[in-house]
Amino acid sequence: MRKSISLVILLIIVVAFAQAQVKSISQYIEQVKALSDRSDVKGANAYIDLNHQSILREWIAITEINAPSGQEQQRAKYIEGLLRQYRLDDIHYDSAGNLIAVRKGTGVGPVIVFDAHMDTVFQPGLQIKVTIRDGRVYAPGIGDDTRNVEALLATIRALNEAKIKTKGDLVFVFTVEEETTFKGVNTFVNQNKAKIDQYIALDGGYEGFTYAGIGINWYRYHFIGPGGHTRSRTPPYSATLPLARAIARIYELKVPASPSSNLNIGMLGGSEVVNAKASDAWFSVDLRSTSNEVIADLDKQIKTILDEEAARVGMKVKTDVISKSPAAAIPGHRESYLVRISEAVHRVMGFDPPITNAGSNNSSAALLAGISSISTGAGPCDGAHSLAENCEIEPLYKGIKKILLLEVALAGVE
Ligand SMILES: [Zn+2]
């Protein structure tokens, strides 16, 4: 009897402990809601509401300074000038050229990084002039990623105006080379990973967020044959024949929808002239999946097809790896504190957030280093990486409030 009573007590303790550990999403929502009802957080939101025009002006001014990947210095100088006007604890550049600004907390909280990238995909010398019509703002780079650069600046001002003191440190990183080499984020993460608790990459996104990164492998495959004139003896064929056969077969491969995966052959080429058999026929492959196993399996099947088709016509295969970045996932991350809080923030802001594991931005570098990380953004935009890029203006102000709520929810407030 005694034994069974103590067993029951033990069971109750275990269940209670488990419940305390696994907070439900509604508890996170309550926690975030209470935070958003605080008068200082409301004050910060009021500041954002009162400053729509100056936020828009600054967003435009930053966008009009072109910042091709690797040539972000002029835009960085401008942002630095703004940061120097705020009460911040540290403003500096690191060895990669990232601009870093620290808003220290009381020292009893976590270190939370917010990242927005400064670089664009546009060529040096492009004259950028922003235009506004029908509630939208048009310019190359206005969305990717200038909307999020501006969102961070606006939240810093709003936090200061409302005299919000966080417990943890907020580290704002304006990164370089997101669009090309990821040199900015890789340098920052490598130099700071031991100190970072959570990493929020603001890039794209508005209503939802990602909590894992998709793996992306880019290749250029060549069939190398003897070539020849159109009228030379056949076979040998033009190297375009195994290329055509291989492409047809690769498109027959089963590419799973779950885990989310994609395969695209977007570029191809052969001889330079009509009257020659190609001695080098090539095509590109863009292979993506949230699972590294799926990528490895499709890689293997593609390799087999290429080898078989080359052997069939007595040719060789040459492979150029353009780039490779693995899928970035932390086991159980969907249930992590960061992801739960982020979901709660979105719900409190009135979003029904899509939460996906297929991000493709600076967040992956943090996840690969084992740092809990999400990516989201401050506003809805269209036409990223095109000259017709544009964003809705009005939602940005709500997006800025969302980022601010995320900042105080993660860093904690006094
Ligand atoms: Zn971007």
- 331-357 pLDDT tens trace: 999 999 999 999 999 999 999 999 999
Residue 1 has pLDDT above 80, yes or no: no
Res. 204 pLDDT band, cuts 50 70 90: confident
Q: Percent of the chain having pLDDT more than 70?
A: 95
Spacing, Cα 117 to ligand 1 middle (Å): 7
Residue 340, pLDDT score = 98
Distance 68 CA to ligand 1 centre (A): 12
Mean pLDDT over 39-48 rounds to 98
Q: Residue 130 pLDDT more than 60?
A: yes
pLDDT at 142 over 80: yes
Instruction: Please give the average per-residue pLDDT across 297-307, as a whole number.
Output: 98
pLDDT score, position 332? 96
Distance 357 CA to ligand 1 centre (A): 17
pLDDT greater than 50 at residue 36:
yes
Tokens coding 239 = 């190297």
* Confidence tier at 66 by pLDDT (50, 70, 90): very high
Residue 18: pLDDT band (50, 70, 90) is low
334 alpha carbon – ligand 1 mean position (Å): 23
How far apart are alpha carbons 75 and 95 in whole angstroms? 17
Predicted pLDDT of residue 17: 54
In the sheet that holds 372-376, the strands lie side by side as 90-93, 99-103, 169-175, 111-117, 198-202, 372-376, 209-210, 355-356
The overall average pLDDT reported for the chain is 95
**CA 144 – ligand 1 centroid, Å:** 5
On the question of pLDDT at 8 being above 70, the answer is no
* pLDDT of the residue at 260: 94
Average pLDDT over residues 105-133: 97
In this prediction, residue 3 carries a pLDDT of 56
- Supply the pLDDT for residue 338: 98
Statement: residue 285 has pLDDT above 80: yes
Mean pLDDT of 303-313: 98
- When pLDDT is cut at 50, 70 and 90, the band that residue 295 belongs to is very high
Ligand 1 center from residue 145 Cα (angstroms): 5
d(Cα 158, Cα 45) in Å, to the nearest integer? 7
Quote the pLDDT of residue 13.
59
Q: Across residues 161-171, what is the average pLDDT?
A: 98
Instruction: Give the distance (Å) from ligand 1 centre to CA of residue 177.
Output: 10
pLDDT at 414: 86
Rounded to an integer, the average pLDDT of 147-156 is 98
Over range 122-144, report the average pLDDT. 97
C-alpha 372 – ligand 1 centre gap (Å) = 20
Q: What 3 state SS string does the chain have? A: CHHHHHHHHHHHHHHHHHHHHCCCHHHHHHHHHHHHCCHHHHHHHHHHHHCHHHHHHHHHHHHCCCCECCCCHHHHHHHHHHHCCCCCCEEEECCCCCEEEEECCCCCCCEEEEEEECCECCCCCCCCCCEEECCEEECCCCCCCHHHHHHHHHHHHHHHHCCCCECCEEEEEEECCCCCCCHHHHHHHHHHHHHCCEEEEECCCCCCEECCECEEEEEEEEEECCCEECCCCCCCCCCHHHHHHHHHHHCCCCCCCCCCEEEECCCEECCCCCCEECCEEEEEEEEEECCHHHHHHHHHHHHHHHHHHHHHCCCEEEEEEEEEECCECCCCHHHCHHHHHHHHHHHHCCCCCCEECCECCCHHHHHHCCCEEEEECCCCEECCCCCCCEEECHHHHHHHHHHHHHHHHHHCEC
